[in-house]
Structures are given as C-alpha cells and as structure tokens.
Amino acid sequence: MILKAIAHIKATGQEVLGVLIFETITIDAGWKHDDKGELYWQTPKEKYLPIFKTYQRIEPFRGTSKVVVNNKFEFIAYSGVRCLIGTEAISKTSRRIGGLMMKKAMLSQPMAGKTDEEIVATREKAIKVLEGKGYEIVNTLFTDEWYSNESMKERGVVQIPLCFLAKSLENMSLCHAAYFCKGWENARGCKIEHDAAVAYGLEIIYED
C-alpha cells in the first residue's frame, strides 16, 4: 500500500489524494446468455489489478481514463465508488520503484545496416511505448568505454558480438518483458534473445 499518493486523472484533469494498492479480483463469474439466448455458467477469471482508493469524490468520466500516480506509475482505469480500478492485469512479481509497483522491460533491436539516426528513432519509439505501459527500461545498448572494441580486445574478448549478446541476456534476467523491434527475426542475436524470452516466460511485446 502506498500512503499519500496523488493520482492524476487524464480524462478530467482532476487530482485526488489516496492510496495505490494491488489486488486479485474475480471477474466475469456467473450465469450468462450466449448468442442463442441460452444460459451458461461463466467460469470466474482472476486478475491482479492496480486500484487507487480515495476519500475524495471522483469527477465522472466516460469509459476509461489514463491515471498517473505520483508521476511514476501509469495505468488505464474506470471509475468506481471512490476508487479507480485498473483494466489490465499486471505481474505479481513486479517490483517497487520509488514506492510504486513497476515492471522492467528490455529492447531487442536489430542494428546491422541501420544508420545511427534510424537506431535512435526506433529506440525512442520503443521506449515511449514501454513507458506508456508502465515499464522501467533496462539498458541493453552498451556504449561506454568498457564496451569499446579496443577495451574488449585488451580484455581478451575474441567474439565481440557474442560479448554484447551475453550482456543482453544477463540484463534480461532483470526483466518481466522483452520488446522486439521490427526485423528481429532476421538478426541472429535478436533471435537468440527471443528464444530465451519465450523459454523463460517473459512477456513478449512486438513493435507494431
């Protein structure tokens, strides 16, 4: 539970004071009518959802709205009775950052044959998408001096691309999700990262 959190409701511009919690909610259970009007029993579904509770009156809005808590955690919600209920389930293994539950994601991006401008533009687009989903980005673009060709050769690294791949896989261990940019299926490193992400159960997100 997060004390004294402030939620900004994009649909109305209202800000309310309250607490952000995460709960497992059972939905869609009960008797339903199918297309032919016949009754059937809907098996209950469980979702682990963010819920913002407040003592203040929430100004009404239609449908759903983006909600930003403490300028750090974003989710899509509909309005309840003095609460905002998330519509998308999150992982129970999400960690806390600055007192708020966040998930981590990495980028898998083919770079061969791309200009620096193309690489940066694709990366910025991916980061914007992931941050919009509430992810913290784990770096997989290693540009400091330690990873320069000269430095790696001095350390005895023979297969430099393999060194970068190994570091990316190490950072994947910190992640809940992996985002694959267009063309990943044609890049050997990205294909290995994809196989690893699938094998170890990460959420897979593809560039639209």
In this structure, are residues 20 and 99 in contact, taking their beta carbons and an 8 Å threshold? no
Report CA-CA distances (Å) from 138 to 106, 130, 163, 182: 5, 11, 17, 19
pLDDT score of 193: 96
Same domain, 162 and 122: yes
Q: Is residue 97 part of a domain?
A: no
Torsion sign over Cα 107, 111, 115, 116:
positive
Residues 71 and 116 grouped into a single domain: no
Separation between Cα atoms, residue 125 and residue 116, nearest integer Å: 14
pLDDT, tens digit (0-9, with 9 covering 90-100), for 6-20: 999 999 999 999 888
Domain of 111, in residue numbers: 103-206
Could you say which of 57, 90, 123 is where a domain stops? 90
How, if at all, do strands 45-54 and 65-69 pair? unpaired
Instruction: Judge whether 168 and 139 are in contact, CB under 8 Å.
Output: no
Do 131 and 181 share a structural domain? yes
Task: Provide the pairing of β-strand 100-108 with 177-180.
Answer: parallel
- Whether 142 and 163 map to the same domain: the answer is yes
| 175 alpha-carbon distance from chain centroid | 10
Q: Are residues 126 and 154 in the same domain?
A: yes
Residues 54, 138: one domain? Answer: no
Amino acid at 179: Y
Residue 77 exposed, middle or buried by CB count within 10 Å (0-12, 13-18, 19+)? buried
Is it the case that residue 179 has pLDDT exceeding 80?
yes
Q: Do 202 and 109 share a domain, yes or no?
A: yes
Considering the domain architecture, whether residues 80 and 148 belong to the same structural domain is answered as no
Last residue of a domain, one of 90, 123, 138: 90
Taking the C-alpha atoms of residue 177 and residue 71, their distance in angstroms, rounded to an integer, is 22
- β partners of residue 63: none
Using the predicted structure, report yes or no on whether residue 149 has a pLDDT greater than 60.
yes
Question: And the tokens for 77?
Answer: 């919600």
Say if 96 falls within a structural domain: no
Number of structural domains found in the chain: 2
How many angstroms separate the CA atoms of 40 and 34, rounded? 7
Report the pLDDT averaged over residues 73-88.
89
Establish if 98 belongs to a structural domain: no
Q: Are residues 202 and 110 in the same domain?
A: yes
Q: Do 32 and 117 fall within a single domain?
A: no
Q: Residue 35 belongs to a domain with what CATH number? A: 2.40.10
- Render pLDDT for 28-66 as a digit per residue (tens, 0 to 9): 666 777 788 888 777 767 777 888 999 999 999 999 999
CA distance 137 to 109: 14
The answer to the question of residue 177 being in a domain is yes
> Could you tell me if residue 190 is inside a domain?
yes
Residues 26 and 74 in one domain: yes
- Whether the pLDDT of residue 99 is over 60: the answer is no
Task: Say if residue 70 is in the same domain as residue 128.
Answer: no
Q: Where are the alpha helices (DSSP H) in 33-94?
A: none
CATH value at residue 138: 3.40.50.10400
Does residue 85 lie in a domain region?
Answer: yes
In a domain, 63, yes or no: yes
Question: Which band of pLDDT confidence, cut at 50, 70 and 90, is reported for residue 89?
Answer: low
- Reading the block at residue 91, the tokens are 């992982």
